[in-house]
Amino acid sequence: MTSRERVMTALDFEPADRVPRFDEFWPEFVDMWREEKGLGPDADIDNYYGIDIRIAVGREGFIPTQREVLEDTDEYRIERNDWGETIQIKKQAGWFYQQLETLVQQKSDFQHLTPDPADLPLRYEDIDAHIAEWKRKYCVFAKTGGPFIRTQFLRGQERLLYDMAGDPQFAAEMFMFTAKHLTQIGLEELRRWDLYDTGIWIFDDMASVKAPLFSPKMAEELLAPAWEYMVEAYKRAGARKVILHSDGNLLPLLDLFVDIGFDGINPVEPRTGMDVVNLREKYGERLALIGGLDNAGIFPRGDRQEIREHVMHCLSIADDGGLIIGAHSIGPDVSVATYDYIADLMKEYDRSQ
């Protein structure tokens, strides 16, 4: 099977030739891997470990034409990004940044938002150069953000949560406005890269380790219409699968997501109390599971027996499909030797079937 055939077979709850795999690797881990393996800078870690999925995302922000660097020092960079956020990036902190200002500082600012066109070529040109090769090697999905996390980019998390509690009508209007913009981007990705036969992921981080950042009632009243709008639009356009990504504990919201029509969730983090075996027992073939492995505790500890028991526990539901195995991400706190061991366990399981 090709990676696309393998992944889509599993998402249809049918047995594939092996369990599909999806991990994303921090640059620091990739550097460690190349050094320890004696590999050059062009070595492909996804190919080496048999990763099956690649995510393709355009520049989905409101105003990518207005992106600019405002200040650049040895310690930090201040820039206005595609969403119009003014952010400070500390150069030693990797992907993490501080939000200084947003487009919707005052509620009245919302009335004046005018996004750049969804079909603007600069949104997609970086992926255009690679998409044909990716589709030969991987199961490629389109991606956009979701209405909760991306509205934070416009409003700021603290102000948005206050809006949800104190002015729910305004919050709901913003969520739907963001969802409609993101949907236009997603539809263009599906069309431009011809990804209808796989589908699209919506990345909408909304939860801490303990619980979602808002109640199920708020989710149903304020956000569900925006999520439904996106899912229905993508499926109506022909997207085969729509997957939801969110870190954290989504357990209180899973029934809602199934009712909305999401086909699967990712990354199913064990440290939050989400266990793929328990979720399969509850949801059966109504919800595919992508992830399930513990990159936060078990993998960094590196105990071989603990890792074996954990990996085999997750794989115990894989025989009839519905599981794509992986962790949230693999960082430098996981040793290369440990990840090699994890990969060997997956191969051992595949050979035993």
Cα-based distances in Å from 70 to 15, 83, 217, 339: 52, 15, 41, 40
What b/e string do you get for 1-22 counting C-beta neighbours within 10 Å, with b at 16 or more? eebbebbbbbbeeeebebbbbb
pLDDT at 98: 86
Supply φ then ψ for residue 44, to 5 degrees.
-100, 105
268: burial class by Cβ within 10 Å (0-12, 13-18, 19+)? buried
pLDDT at 185: 98
pLDDT at 94: 59
Residue corresponding to tokens 């303990």 = 210
pLDDT at 93: 61
**C-alpha dihedral (94, 95, 99, 102), degrees to nearest 10:** 140
Q: Are 62 and 84 in contact (CB under 8 A)?
A: yes
Integer Cα distance of 206 and 272 in angstroms? 13
pLDDT at 285: 96
| pLDDT tens, residue order, the chain (353 aa) | 999 999 999 999 999 999 999 999 999 999 999 999 999 999 999 999 999 999 999 999 999 999 999 999 988 899 999 999 999 988 776 567 888 999 999 999 999 899 999 999 999 999 999 999 999 999 999 999 999 999 999 999 999 999 999 999 999 999 999 999 999 999 999 999 999 999 999 999 999 999 999 999 999 999 999 999 999 999 999 999 999 999 999 999 999 999 999 999 999 999 999 999 999 999 999 999 999 999 999 999 999 999 999 999 999 999 989 999 999 899 999 999 999 999 999 999 888 87
Integer Cα distance of 52 and 9 in angstroms? 12
**In this structure, what token pair is assigned to residue 245?**
């990504």
pLDDT at 255: 98
Integer Cα distance of 173 and 176 in angstroms? 5
Residue corresponding to tokens 């956000």 = 223
pLDDT at 74: 85
Q: Which residues contact 296 (CB under 8 A, 6 or more apart)?
A: 269, 270, 271, 328
Residue type, 28: E
Q: Is 328 helix (H, G, I), strand (E, B) or coil?
A: coil
Residue 237, sorted as left (phi over 0), alpha (psi -120 to 50) or beta, turns out to be: alpha
What are the residues facing 326 on neighbouring strands? 292
- The CATH number corresponding to 3-64+119-352 among 3.20.20.210, 1.10.10.10, 3.20.20.70, 3.40.228.10 equals 3.20.20.210
Q: Which residues contact 34 (CB under 8 A, 6 or more apart)?
A: 40, 41, 43, 45
Q: Are 272 and 230 in contact (CB under 8 A)?
A: no
pLDDT at 243: 98
What are the residues facing 99 on neighbouring strands? 87
pLDDT at 201: 98
C-beta neighbour count of 300 within 10 angstroms: 14
